[in-house]
Structure 1
Amino acid sequence: MKQASRLLIAAVFALLLAACASSGNRTAAHGITLPPPDTTAASGAYEGATDYRVGSQDLLEISVFGVSELTHQARVNSNGMINLPLVGGVMAGGKTVPELEKELGARYADGYLQNPQVTVFVKEYTSQRVTLEGALKKPGIYPLTGKTSLLQAIAMAEGTDEFADLEGVVLFRHINGQRMAAAYDLTKVRRGELADPQVYGDDVIVIERSGSKSAFREFLRSVPALGLFLAL
């Protein structure tokens, strides 16, 4: 894991240098927040968009208007299936919420209910994952089970370790077909001086080690305002 972290950080630094060498690719601002990512699965998951597609291990809450007995929570299995009262197994994986509501309405209408109004709520977006690398107690890949901020994501990895450079936190994301990054001073985020940005599925968070002599750390130190926004 440590070797993988070093390799990732080295790659990140190379990308950042390439970005800075390109004119017009850099904008600096305090408290800047990256826009949501390109994928509808990632961006729609936390904004209530109708184009989010249900994924494996998502937790769904399903209800039928006027029939409290059919209110049910179901975890999507690895094959994309859920099991519900009366109708049994239903393929949920890959469907949007409206598509699944329509499917379940048709199932319940087939010999069970008249004009059922089915509502599907995605309670946990477990199919969305974030990668945390660098100076963390437990770096790794973690599921996002709902709307999650940068501080909350770091807490999933049990926080930063004693060697973490809190001024060297970089969040990477794909936006408009480009790999983008924003650098944050975690101390300022904790104090409320910078906004605690929301993280999405497929985001990568990298935390550099304090006291290291790496070029990546020196680059971050040279940035006049953490909260830097880069197109990579």
Structure 2
Amino acid sequence: MTRALSFFSALAAVLVAGCGGPRMDVGQMTAAQPVDLQSVQTVAAPPSEYRIGVGDKLDVRVFQVEDLSFEELVVDTSGNINMPLIGAVRGAGRTAGEMSSDIAARLAARYLRDPQVTVTVKEAASQKITVDGAVTKPGVYEMRGSTSLLQAVAMAEGPTRIADLTKVAVFRTIDGQRSVALFDLAAIRQGRAPDPEVLGDDVVVVDTSRLNSALREVLGAVPALAIFRPF
């Protein structure tokens, strides 16, 4: 724990000294239990795996039932959409496929025999991510739909000359707790590693090569990249 805290203390010091962008309160980043990155949908996923959010516009189709088909339903602030007969349907945090199955099951229970339901994300509401550290323009950026780590760094106009692309941290809240995973952006650029998906409210921090000597021991203790771990 002490060695890991030293890593983030050093990281915070460099950000304060050398970055003109937003300031991260690293002290608030308490750890979650280690979680395999793939289990929390950070590996780049096909559009069907996108997690629906508040404000997203959905196209909902019930095959051959025009009165239950809608070109545009907006996920409200409670995370739901409303449909005739079955009322509120949870959308936020679900995939389109999960919503389709839920709607079909509820319609089949009382109203239709073997309904065929398709839910499509017509337009994803903008979500914000923070990109900080050794990037050209640190700041808070809006993203729509699926956005990869490479794309997030590109939003900040790419890394600076002092960036260490082998150490890019993504901070995320998982089950109410703050956690972090490290990625090798150089390997991702070269196609040697998958380009993970970033989610709304993630904080991406690109390390700086000036930290190498201070962080070598700490990072050497990290057993694997691309896994959210306690610190």
- Which TM-score tier does this pair reach, normalised by the shorter chain? 0.5 to 0.7
Aligned-partner residue type, residue 172 of structure 1: F
Aligned to 2:168: 169
Aligned to 1:139: 139
Q: State the TM-score, normalizing by the size of structure 2.
A: 0.55
- Asked if 1:99 is matched to 2:98, the reply is no
- Consecutive unaligned residues of structure 2, counting only runs of 5 or more, are 1-18
Judged with a 3 Å threshold, the aligned counterparts in structure 2 of structure 1 residues 225 and 37 are, in CA distance, closer, same or farther, namely: same
Structure 2 counterpart SS, 1:72: strand
Structure 1 counterpart SS, 2:194: coil
Aligned-partner residue type, residue 102 of structure 2: E
CA RMSD of aligned residues (A): 4.9
Structure 2 counterpart SS, 1:165: strand
Identity across the alignment (%): 32
Aligned-partner residue type, residue 99 of structure 1: D
The answer on whether the counterparts of 1:182 and 1:227 sit within 8 Å (CA) in structure 2 is: no
Q: How many residues align?
A: 194
Aligned to 1:218: 213
- Consecutive unaligned residues of structure 1, counting only runs of 5 or more, are 17-24, 26-32
The answer on whether the counterparts of 1:183 and 1:227 sit within 8 Å (CA) in structure 2 is: no
Aligned to 1:22: none
Q: State the TM-score, normalizing by the size of structure 1.
A: 0.55
Which of 184, 192, 195 aligns to 2:193? It is: 195
Aligned-residue offset at 1:209: 3.6
- Asked if 1:35 is matched to 2:37, the reply is yes
Aligned to 2:207: 208
Structure 2 counterpart SS, 1:36: helix
Q: Could you give the per-residue CA deviations for residues 171-193 of structure 1, whole angstroms, max 9, x where no partner exists?
A: 33467978342242x2332122x
Aligned to 1:179: 179
Q: Could you give the per-residue CA deviations for residues 130-168 of structure 1, whole angstroms, max 9, x where no partner exists?
A: 44222332422544512x432122233343345533333
Q: Which piece of structure 1 moves more, 117-126 or 219-228?
A: 219-228
Judged with a 3 Å threshold, the aligned counterparts in structure 2 of structure 1 residues 132 and 34 are, in CA distance, closer, same or farther, namely: farther
Judged with a 3 Å threshold, the aligned counterparts in structure 2 of structure 1 residues 182 and 208 are, in CA distance, closer, same or farther, namely: closer
Aligned-residue offset at 1:60: 1.7
Judged with a 3 Å threshold, the aligned counterparts in structure 2 of structure 1 residues 195 and 57 are, in CA distance, closer, same or farther, namely: same
